Amino acid sequence: MNIDNIYIQDISQICDNKLNINILRGDVLDPVVSGNKWFKLQFYVRDAIAAGKTTLATFGGPYSNHIIATAKYGAAMGLNTVGFIRGEKPTTLSPTLHDALQNGMTLHFISREDFEQTEKISADNQDSNWAWIPEGGYGVTGAEGAKTMLTIKDTSSYDTIICAVGTGTMMAGLIKAAAPHQKIIGLSVLKNNISIDAEIKALLTKEEANKSFEINHDYHFGGYAKHTPALIDFMNDCYTQMELPLDFVYTAKLMYGVRDLASKGKFEPSSKILVIHSGGLQGNRSFKKGTLRF
Ligand SMILES: *Cc1c(COP(=O)(O)O)cnc(C)c1O
């Protein structure tokens, strides 16, 4: 995990060079802990160590970027990790869970029903040595971590910053980091996630909530982790034409949306746009071999 690996790539060709579009390649942070999950975790981990905790405990699905990031980051910091995983234990573990185990994480499988109540899971598993991290790293601590994504490189010249939105924690962090001339646009990857606006605002101060931002709900492709042949083709094209690998859950929908919005005249010709590559590439391992060109 080396933030010096992160760089900014010009991808203006995605809109036939009619606009100035760059992408912050957060995915190259680490092949496994790629992108925003490390940023969101960093202050949870710092606080856990400062409080003398020995173990990080958290929640996630079988392909969760957050689970594998917690496992690998925790191991790197000398902490034990415990993952409460949504659904019954499968006969074959997903590559994500396999990697989590390899990094020393203890896995507990929780029925989908019981998983609905993560507070109950943490209440039933109290241990004074454990630091609990909310699912997806959602919380002010996670947002403060994501805020630092905009300071790895000089991002002051951009007026429009666009990211994918799951829990909204990263977007809240980008809003916190935004300068007065910058607008943050989030593309939601969940269907009809109308509560997301309130969930993001809950992580912001009053002043921050008055900054310029908007959430777009048009590019979920049917819902979380749903995909279409057109989206897969788009991912392969982005890789072939720009050496830009995308994940199907978040960043492919984000880039597809950016290109579509650009073609519809959403952005001023003079604008300088920065797209956030938030990583997540390990999740592509749920595809059959050969589906993707990368
Ligand atoms: C988790 C994740 C997101 C969404 O981040 P939130 O802070 O939950 O909104 C976006 N992109 C990738 C690759 C992710 O893994």
- 10 Å Cβ neighbour count for 132? 21
pLDDT number for residue 1: 80
**Closest residue by CA, ligand 1 atom 15:** 280
pLDDT number for residue 250: 98
Residue 250 CA: nearest ligand 1 atom is: 11
pLDDT, mean of residues 174-193: 97
185 confidence band (pLDDT: 50, 70, 90): very high
Residues in the chain: 294
pLDDT, mean of residues 188-217: 97
CA of 36 to the centre of ligand 1 (A): 6
Helix/strand/coil for 187: strand
CA of 165 to the centre of ligand 1 (A): 6
Q: From residue 214, how far is each of 18, 153, 210, 217, 261 by CA, in Å?
A: 23, 23, 11, 10, 13
CA of 83 to the centre of ligand 1 (A): 18
Residue 247 CA: nearest ligand 1 atom is: 13
Q: If you average pLDDT over every residue of the chain, what do you get?
A: 96
CA of 44 to the centre of ligand 1 (A): 16
34 confidence band (pLDDT: 50, 70, 90): confident
The terminus-to-terminus CA distance of the chain in angstroms comes to 21
CA of 53 to the centre of ligand 1 (A): 26
**What is the pTM assigned to this prediction?**
0.97
| Long-range interactions of 178-185: CB distance < 8 A, separation 24+ | 178/150, 178/211, 178/212, 178/213, 180/211, 182/158, 182/212, 183/159, 183/212, 183/213, 183/214, 184/211, 184/212, 184/213, 184/214, 185/160, 185/161, 185/213, 185/214, 185/215, 185/216
Helix/strand/coil for 178: coil
Q: 76: buried, middle or exposed (CB in 10 Å: 19+, 13-18, 0-12)? A: middle
pLDDT of 31 above 90: no
pLDDT of 273 above 80: yes
Contact 174/150 with Cβ under 8 angstroms? yes
Residue 172 CA: nearest ligand 1 atom is: 7
33 confidence band (pLDDT: 50, 70, 90): confident
pLDDT number for residue 144: 98
H helices of 178-243, in order, are 196-201, 206-209, 229-242
Percent of the chain whose pLDDT exceeds 90: 97
Q: Which pLDDT tens digit goes with each residue over 63-81? A: 999 999 999 999 999 999 9
Contact 68/137 with Cβ under 8 angstroms? no
Supply the DSSP symbol for 35: B
Assigned token pair, 91: 């006969």
Residue 164 CA: nearest ligand 1 atom is: 10
pLDDT, mean of residues 279-292: 94
Domains of the chain: 3-32+140-286 (3.40.50.1100), 37-137 (3.40.50.1100)
Q: Where are the beta strands (DSSP E) in 61-212?
A: 80-86, 106-110, 130-132, 160-165, 183-188
Question: Can you tell me which residue has the tokens 């100035």?
Answer: 20
Q: Rounded to an integer, what distance in angstroms lies between the CA atom of residue 188 and that of residue 71?
A: 26
pLDDT, mean of residues 211-240: 97
Give just the sign of the alpha carbon dihedral 49, 201, 30, 68: positive
Contact 219/195 with Cβ under 8 angstroms? no
pLDDT number for residue 32: 83
Assigned token pair, 132: 């609990």
Residue 168 CA: nearest ligand 1 atom is: 9
pLDDT, mean of residues 41-58: 98
pLDDT number for residue 134: 96
CA of 279 to the centre of ligand 1 (A): 8
CA of 188 to the centre of ligand 1 (A): 10
Which protein residues touch ligand 1 with a CB less than 6 Å away?
A: 35-37, 65, 136, 164-171, 247, 250-251, 278-280
Q: 233: buried, middle or exposed (CB in 10 Å: 19+, 13-18, 0-12)? A: exposed
